[in-house]
Amino acid sequence: MSYQAPLKDMLFVMNELAGLQQVNALPGCEDATPDTVEAILEENAKFAGEVVAPLNWAGDQAPSYWKDGEVFTTKGFKEAFQQFAQAGWQGVQHPVEFGGQGLPKLVATPCLEMLNAASISFALCPLLSDGAIEALLTAGSDVQKSIYLEKLISGQWTGTMNLTEPQAGSDLAMVRSRAVPREDGTFAVFGTKIFITYGEHDMAENIVHLVLARTPDAPEGVKGISLFLVPKFLVQADGSLGARNDVQCVSIEHKLGIKASPTAVLQFGDHGGAIGTLIGEENRGLEYMFIMMNAARFGVGMQGIGIAERAYQLAVSYARDRVQSRDLAGSIGPVTIIHHPDVKRMLMSMRAQTEAARALAYVAAAMLDHAHHHPDAAVRKQNQAAYEYLVPIVKGWSTEMSLDVTSNGVQVHGGMGFIEETGAAQHYRDARILTIYEGTTAIQANDLVGRKTVRDAGAVAKALIADLRVTSSQLRASGQTDLLAIEVQLTQAADAFEEVVTYIAANMKSDIKAVFAGSVPYLKMAGIVLGGWQMGRAALVSAEKLQQGATDAAFYQAKIATARFFAEHFVVQAAGLKTTILLGSVGTLALSEAQF
């Protein structure tokens, strides 16, 4: 159940597909040289593999527990988090002026993948802190920044996001928590928040809660929601900790997976009001919270990729060792199961989907670096739009992919996969939450349809498709058998994808339910086709490296084979998904409530 970070593939994707050299050339990214980045990744891989990964099984067997309002994390988590903080891993992508390393998102992304592959339960704590940091950087006052950012970025304190209430899940218009103004300019916060990841724990000295609530005169609906900073311990003027605030953890959830991560029910204001300060302006809380959510959504996509990689490694290890049945070609004795065609199919499916999702996510990360740092405003705008289009895909498709990969991981193990001791079942259970929290797959798909496709009449999507067609042309021009096989499937998929984008943009107003009935298939199609595009690019680079006499021929040959497998097993699905999206709403919407 060990984990070895796939550094070779990560560096290949960063350098050859995401353009690390171009990111390094951006103003403010000068420290991200190839040598420096490789050294950072090697250190992160060592920490993830040697310190965090061994805690994953322990966290599942001996989860966090609640007692008398306090939460105690799995043995070893607190010490590992202290090492994480002291090494500066929380601050990789955050500003130098607040103690961070100021490195590009492209560098932080593989670090995030490795931490999640090692243990999603552990990685959730810094992931939520990242979101809180982003929200404060964007909307926090100078006072809030000066008091909280350095402590959050150092890992001395951690952050949470408090959206959900018992009556308000994804529909945040239903939020009823109250924030009453006090004479000193602070607010007294009252209410109950549920599903708060690391809402209470023993790994840091303070927890900074970012809480959605309504002021007394706020309008109804989402337009009346404000965002408040409510610390577990009040902070004195000199930055030291004061009294315990009026926020209590009244229980934690018992879950299918990610058991070591405490999911808290928090009660604010049972003893007069939890003291909080307003972040930004009143009634703009949802806007600010979306900053956290977008950071978290990309992070959850990386969780899917990380756990898929971990499940793949475990399955390959088992398949190499497990002896079962004769070789179909007629060998005289039993062989290890990795020789059986269907086991190879499952392993290739796990490998190809993980590599495609990794490539698409890293490319998206580089886009955000260009959006933030490129000197040309038009280039910044173009990259920002492309990144925003890809975020729901990275979140939605990568997490759905992780369910398929971890399920196949169980299947490769056969009956032993159903036995907890192998570890395959834990990956399957842990992955199951990923398509749900930070917005279900349907919510990601609705975002992809409404905000990311219809709003610009499909312009960003079609620009990506145009880039994909350039790759197809290059594959066609190569004349190589494997690359031509990839090109055939990519070209057909691009046609289907473009037809679907046009359909969605044209029919949103006239038949909104029909369009949204196909939203999740559209998201899946986008992930598969755009992931296939990145795999095609990887195949092109690999073929060129082989022609140049690369020393590691086996690595590049495997990249080409994996890209072809993805094209012929997954990209081919685009045509069927097109039919589902264009015609499938009739069946989806046919039955009345009573007929179910």
Looking at the annotation, which residues are catalytic? 438
Residue 263: which residues within 8 A CB-CB, separation 6 or more? 195, 196, 197, 199, 252, 253, 255
Q: Which residues of 440-456 are buried (b: 16+ CB within 10 A; e: fewer)?
A: bbebbbbbbbbebbbee
Q: Give the integer Cα–Cα distance in Å for 220 and 34.
A: 51
Listed residue (60, 204, 193, 221) closest to 125, CA to CA: 204
The candidate with the shortest Cα–Cα distance to 320, out of 340, 342, 345, 348, is 340
Question: What SS3 class is residue 244?
Answer: strand
Closest CA to 452 of 400, 394, 365: 394
Cα dihedral sign for 352, 7, 427, 71?
negative
Name the amino acid, one letter, at 458.
G
Residue 235 carries which DSSP code?
A: E
Nearest Cα to Cα of residue 468 among 494, 492, 488: 494
Contact 497, 574 (CB under 8 A): yes
Give dist(CA 562, CA 535) in Å, integer: 8
As to burial, measured by CB atoms within 10 angstroms (0-12 exposed, 13-18 middle, 19+ buried), residue 502 is middle
Give me the phi and psi of 48, to 5 degrees please: -65, -45
What's the CA gap between 553 and 57, in Å, rounded?
A: 36
A 10 A CB-CB count for 61 gives: 12
Cβ neighbours of residue 259 closer than 8 Å, sequence gap 6 or more: 59, 60, 63, 64, 121
